[in-house]
Amino acid sequence: DVVMTQSPLSLPVTLGQPASISCRSSQSLVHSDGNTYLTWFQQRPGQSPRRLIYKVSDRDSGVPDRFSGSGSGTDFTLKISRVEAEDVGVYYCLQGTHWPWTFGQGTKVEIK
Amino acid sequence: EVQLVESGGGLVQPGGSLRLSCAASGFSFSNYLMGWVRQAPGKGLERVANIKQDGSESSYVDSVKGRFTLSRNNAKDSLYLQMDSLRPEDTAVYYCASLLRGSYPHWGQGTLVTVSS
């Protein structure tokens, strides 16, 4: 199975400051169809996961543009340009290129 | 608006059974692969099982193979997870989710399964 490794696992941030989460895969996530199926989810406390970003950098409808995704191959990043209080929660990456799909361990974002 | 509503969770003794249900609305259910993802208390997300659009094929994480059975009824826009021989390590919130192009776009609110004596 493809191993997804996130870092850091805990990320204290100051309101209004940027934040960045890394997700690395144990093998390339480029699919034979040419797409790269790397997704980012946000899970706020007490809520179910919500998809933010799919195919590395496509933002879901309603997701603030302060969230952006980038990367290629085995190295991916989720960036929050200016952290707001509502961004507190755990963020997970998911690879959907190789079966079985696998999640990263999660990164907990909290306010300093 | 897309909605996935799970039900059927609860407290069960080790070795017991539960059947989870997921009622879908707001999208064309029969066109989507569907699945279940679980989250043990304080832990991360784990894919449990998924099923093709016509129900002809399903796959399971190794730890539940032979114990869990996934099925669907496209006429009722519903997904089911029959869980037998439950173990304490199956304790988790179980989320129903749709699968599309290498991702899970839609999630339910989850249903808690607790396996304990």
| pLDDT tens sequence across A23-40 | 999 999 999 999 999 999
Instruction: State the best of B6, B34, B38, B45 to mutate against chain A, taking most chain A CBs within 10 Å.
Output: B45
Q: Which one, of A92, A107, A112, A108, lies nearest residue A38 by Cα?
A: A92
* Inter-chain CB proximity A49 and B45 less than 8 Å: yes
Query: How much of chain A, in percent, has pLDDT values that exceed 70?
Result: 100
Q: How do the pLDDT tens digits run along chain B, 117 residues long?
A: 999 999 999 999 999 999 999 999 999 999 999 999 999 999 999 999 999 999 999 999 999 999 999 999 999 999 999 999 999 999 999 999 999 999 999 999 999 999 999
Which residue of B47, B105, B108 is in closest CB contact with A101?
Answer: B47
What's the pLDDT score for residue B23? 98
* Inter-chain CB proximity A50 and B95 less than 8 Å: no
Q: Which one, of B75, B58, B70, lies nearest residue B24 by Cα?
A: B75
Q: For A100, what's the count of Cα atoms within 13 Å in the CB-facing half-sphere?
A: 16
What's the pLDDT score for residue B59? 95
| pLDDT tens sequence across A43-64 | 999 999 999 999 999 999 999 9
Burial A75-107 (b: 16+ CB within 10 A, else e): ebbbebeebeeebebbbbbbbbbbeebbbbbbb
How far, rounded to the nearest angstrom, does the alpha carbon of residue A96 sit from its chain's CA centroid? Answer: 13
